Structure 1
């Protein structure tokens, strides 16, 4: 009974995330096609169409689920909060060096934490996640369209980020079964390798 309840919980969360992404994506694609700047959908689309952002944000959810409570909810809260701070720095023009490298390295390190089943103290895990969130947020902020409403734009990318975390958490719940932990660690390794690709591309 317990396993069936977990199965329904994972399936429900994954379905919710998939529905939200499927609703948002066509509108985001239309935004790109017609060149209309601004607002919520522009912010919502930005993380979803950057694979480096997607990889790192899914890894945060995976790692939180792997670590269990309270990390499962703390890490996905820390990331968007600190990311919003980084976005504010980008919007007002505060420079941050090597942003793209920082984003790529976030996928490498966060994926590696999952692949290696790293269990640092909660404060250390939150600090790692928060550090990388600044780079992701700064990238979002500096790419704010000129005609965009900054608050609506920020709400869009924060919600998209939360959905990506939710996807990672949903898959991370599979660690409750014997096959789940190896699968999650394998996913972490794939994310780390993808991050290495982004990193090599960024320094090339």
Structure 2
């Protein structure tokens, strides 16, 4: 070894705690923004606009559970899937919303939404790890039916742009909340000791879907 050689400085990896704090902040924004949106519902300037669109996913247990599960599963997959999988859901959600708002027929939307809650919950509960492309395609298919429901249920007097921006914003924040939950349970990039708790959370989501299917 040369006498003046210096050891290489180790590169610090991005800490899951840092990601977790950012995602937890987004989860808090869901609550804050939902409260603000609720305060504006019923006012003439906001009726059937951003506030209504934002609250639509939050007040539907099927949408709420599925979108949280997307974020949670993305966190358990880790790597590029952490952002790519939720992004696929949101992108196809917008396509589905346009189809629903314009009246393009799509069969079995409600059963498909219920199935998405069950499947997404089981993916987490059973620790299913798919490659990025199949995972994005699967979640994107679920995003299509969820988006279709948002578009089809949009009030006739609503501003499509404001209403759409509302439910897209809520969707992104719910995904971030699910990612935050995944990080908090110790599940980014690889299986760890905390994984059992993440699986319990996934089982709860699947249970919600089963209740919806029976009801």
Q: Same fold (TM over 0.5)?
A: yes
Query: 1:152-167 alignment to 2 at 5 Å?
Result: 152-167=162-177
Matched, 1:193 2:207: yes
1:124 to 120, 134, 141: 134
Match of 1:111 in 2: 121
Matched, 1:77 2:87: yes
Matched, 1:145 2:155: yes
Q: Which runs of 5+ in 2 are unaligned?
A: 1-11
Counterpart CA distance in 2 for 1:32 and 1:124 is: 42
Counterpart CA distance in 2 for 1:100 and 1:122 is: 26
2:146 to 136, 139, 142: 136
Instruction: Give the number of the structure whose alpha-carbon radius of gyration is greater.
Output: 2
1:51 to 61, 67, 81: 61
**TM-score scaled by structure 2?**
0.84
Counterpart CA distance in 2 for 1:23 and 1:162 is: 12
Counterpart CA distance in 1 for 2:113 and 2:213 is: 8
Match of 1:86 in 2: 96
Q: Verify the 8 A CA contact 1:43 1:157 in the aligned structure 2.
A: yes
Q: Verify the 8 A CA contact 1:27 1:41 in the aligned structure 2.
A: yes
Deviation of 1:32 (Å): 6.0
Q: Verify the 8 A CA contact 2:93 2:145 in the aligned structure 1.
A: yes
List structure 1 segments (4+ residues) > 2 angstroms apart after TM superposition. 5-9, 19-30, 176-180
Q: Which runs of 5+ in 1 are unaligned?
A: none
Name the structure with the higher helix share: 1
| 1:28-51 Cα deviation digits (max 9, x unpaired) | 2651699x7321111111001101
Counterpart CA distance in 1 for 2:203 and 2:43 is: 35
Q: Give the aligned CA root-mean-square deviation in angstroms.
A: 2.2
Match of 2:3 in 1: none
Q: Verify the 8 A CA contact 2:73 2:124 in the aligned structure 1.
A: yes
Aligned residues: 199
The farther-off stretch of 172-181 and 157-166 is 172-181
1:175 to 187, 210, 213: 187
Match of 2:8 in 1: none
